[in-house]
Structure 1
């Protein structure tokens, strides 16, 4: 099978390695400013590709279509995929133009536009948050008044929680509106068009935040896991990490999976592994967003530690029409991945080290300073991730306690205040 990967988040580079080890032909389209760091490991993986096409504007449908057309003419492409959220729209449009097999383009474009996604759920009769798409402050305030404070304000097709805000009154809604409409200069240039589509005003959903990792092929659905989230007590919009399995009773976990399948059907997502974020409200599961890509960040690594299987192997099996798709067995305890995030701007100590984290008996893996482009003596901004660690304990409460203990020690070692404390 010839797979064309169009860009990637850092975690999903693993899919390239696994594809080559499985004997597939791989083409990789790389952006001039990739999301992943150019570490020795990442460069080694990219070097495995049969064809690496560099400096492609992977958020531009014309540039992607041209690169794919050239590759397809040389060696027929069997399937196209992107694991970079901001590139999925360009891939959808390019694949439709060239007639290449990929996730249904219309479904990807609906998923990426949260306003259109909410409308699709309403049309299908599925639970969804109240919402409105606004173009200016007047419309934002009118929508917030109708929906009722507090509300969530964000770009309708943004990413990574950039420019997302909770507004509890009109003054906060006004400030959030201005931030979204004028703050795109802080967003990478290739992403800005997708961030400039107005302001989405949504109902503030109350309840645990979880995600469902769901594979789809030929009308068959494969629920790989339901994960939970660590959210900062100081601002629950800030996600501090994830853990598997979610801390839910079996009936609630099953309800989340059933709802996720209904969402994918309503939107038309038909091929791939998708990451659906859901709030488990008093009225049941309600979608936050559906991402037309595999889970990112540390979640694939957490999944591997928790299940002894690889989510990217599942992706490759889904993409291969001849492959059998399997589901993981029971998880081994609870595995959590915790970001080390600066609470305030500061400078890491000259002798800053992560050794205390590595020595903790519950820790399975540490993602070091270099992966976050920081290190001893380097300045860090408020909210910046400087490292990450993954740990295993018998259950979710034990993971929370161990992570807090590790972070309080680490705070002294790094010389900067950290975000510590989880939302209940």
Structure 2
């Protein structure tokens, strides 16, 4: 039973439950909380293709009128609004403010979605940030790169996610080409890009901090180091991730900085995912998202880290007093694991079949795999998150075993994992 003296929450709403919201739904249902789904006008075009989760009591379509949508939620008895993915961040905050329910600060809400406003919020709070400009003019970015930032310079959509069109540009010509590509492409929510963000290239090791907050109190759920690969054309893709022990000196530095970022962006409630580069001048924000970290497997997180972001959001809703009593660093490193992103290195290939994955499952440290496309479906070359065929989770107490299995996995990919058996 909840320890809080306040009346228990009975109904919550998720905005765009196409990503991690599908994992939060059964947790809430198990805790006796009914869930309403709010559909934003522009969900993630990749995630919306996934099967829609079952278990919502009803669905509400938002057509642009926040007051009307909030009134519908109020009529349904909704007491909390939670963002399930990047496309729902801004609408979640506006609905919570309209309903008067716990949410995030509204003095500069765009800073939790617009990457340039994000940098401005950090500057205003005195938090270290990357040199950044936005411009619809490629020549302005070229001039800035050559006079201020130097090459390489990173270009990306100002409000996208998932490494969508994130490219490290090494020359003026590449800046012009990438700028044109971004400006003529929609972002992951299907909206046009009307400007392009450019940032200094942050050199160093990259980390992410997943946290859950309640009323401005932040609890760290996990800290991982990213290992990424920069492709010949400048695109940056995920290679593998590995968690840090909470007492690791680097973990302490990035955790402290991540909480400063959350304060600067007024992230006060629910989940957050903060990406940080440890540079020669210290930690610097890559970007922060006021939503769950992607690609989670809660049961494996709990097995290896003692907790997970999904469960802690549920706890913050049903038993806020117990949540507040958690230590600031709420996880432990119980088992070593490596989260390996699948990479198709070819211009052709197909999503692997169960038979093709047998060699991967035979790896001594293998515990779990997810493929993002049906077996046999054509695969493009991997250039970003959307074109990565899935991921594999390895767990072993032996670091050498993890390394050996990781290398063997990459060999399997190169040799036959994406081969078309019909060819």
Q: Taking structure 1 as the reference length, what is the TM-score of the superposition? A: 0.85
CA distance in 2, matches of 1:117, 1:155: 13
Which residue number corresponds to residue 402 of structure 1?
A: 405
Range moving further from structure 2, 149-158 or 21-30: 21-30
Question: Structure 1 397/350 Cα, relative in aligned 2: closer, same or farther at 3 Å?
Answer: closer
Give the CA deviation at 1:68: 4.1
Instruction: Determine the structure 2 residue equivalent to 1:228.
Output: 225
Q: Secondary structure at the match of 2:272?
A: strand
C-alpha distance 396-237 of structure 1, shift in aligned 2 (>3 A) = farther
Where does residue 4 of structure 2 map in the other structure? Answer: none
CA distance in 2, matches of 1:350, 1:357: 11
Distance 2:319 2:300 in 1: 27
* Pair 1:400–1:302, CA change in 2 (3 A): farther
Three-state SS of the structure 2 residue aligned to 1:269 is: coil
Distance 1:396 1:107 in 2: 44
Match of 1:375 in 2: 375
Q: 2:352 matched to 1:359?
A: no
Give the Å deviation of 1:29: 2.5
Deviation at 1:365, TM superposition (A): 0.8
Equivalent pair of 1:212/1:276 in contact (CA under 8 Å): yes
The structural deviation recorded for 1:324 is 1.2
* Corresponding residue for residue 173 of structure 1: 175
Q: How does 1:222-371 map to 2 (within 5 A)?
A: 222-232=219-229, 234=231, 237-245=236-244, 250-298=248-296, 300=298, 303-320=301-318, 322-325=320-323, 326=326, 328-348=330-350, 353-368=356-371
**More displaced, 405-414 or 158-167?**
405-414
2:202 touches 2:277 (CA, 8 Å); kept in 1?
Answer: yes
* Alignment RMSD (CA, Å): 2.7
The equivalent of 1:139 in structure 2 is 140
Aligned-partner SS, 1:380: coil
Distance 1:321 1:191 in 2: 38
Give 1:49's match in structure 2, choosing from 44, 56, 78.
56
Q: Give the structure 1 partner of residue 17 of structure 2.
A: 8
Q: What is the alpha-carbon distance in structure 2 between the residues aligned to residue 8 and residue 403 of structure 1? A: 32
Q: Which TM-score applies when normalising by structure 2? A: 0.85
Greater helix content: 1
Contact 1:112–1:157, Cα closer than 8 Å, also in 2? yes
1:201–1:304 CA distance, 2 compared to 1 (3 A): same
Inter-CA distance 202–350: structure 2 relative to 1 (3 Å threshold) = closer
Shift in CA distance, 341/65, structure 1 to aligned 2, threshold 3 Å: farther
SS at match of 1:132: strand
1:93 aligned partner: 94
Residues 1:389 and 1:69: Cα distance change in structure 2 (over 3 Å): same
Q: Deviations over 1:356-400 (max 9, x none)?
A: 1112220111214xxx12313x32111132232111123666534
Cα gap change, 1:163 to 1:374, in 2 (>3 Å)? same
For 1:330 and 1:260, locate their aligned partners in 2 and report how far apart those are by CA, in whole Å: 18
Is the partner of 1:345 in helix, strand or coil?
Answer: coil
How far apart in 1 are the matches of 2:215 and 2:418?
Answer: 53
Q: Structure 1 19/411 Cα, relative in aligned 2: closer, same or farther at 3 Å?
A: same
Separation in structure 2 between the aligned mates of residue 137 and residue 162 of structure 1, nearest angstrom: 18
Q: Helix, strand or coil for the counterpart of 2:102?
A: coil
The secondary structure found in structure 2 opposite 1:238 is strand
Within 5 Å, which residues of 2 pair with 1:76-91?
Answer: 77-91=78-92
SS in 1 for 2:47: coil
Aligned 8 A contact 1:212 1:226 in 2? yes
The SS at the match of 1:209 is strand
Change (3 A) 1:394 1:307: same
**Contact 2:145 2:153 survives alignment (8 Å):** yes
Task: Tell me how far 1:350 sits from its aligned partner.
Answer: 8.9
Task: Decide which moves more: 346-355 or 220-229.
Answer: 346-355
1:153 aligns with 2:165: no
Q: How far off its partner does 1:128 sit?
A: 1.0
- CA distance change for structure 1 residues 299 and 255 in 2, over 3 Å: closer, same or farther? farther
CA distance in 2, matches of 1:179, 1:113: 19
**Would the aligned equivalents of 2:102 and 2:215 in 1 still touch at CA under 8 Å?**
no
Alignment partners' CA distance in 2, 1:395 and 1:283: 33
Residues 243 and 337, structure 2, Cα contact 8 Å, conserved in 1: yes
- Change in CA separation of 1:273 and 1:286 when aligned onto 2, cut-off 3 Å: same
Correspondence for 1:206: 203
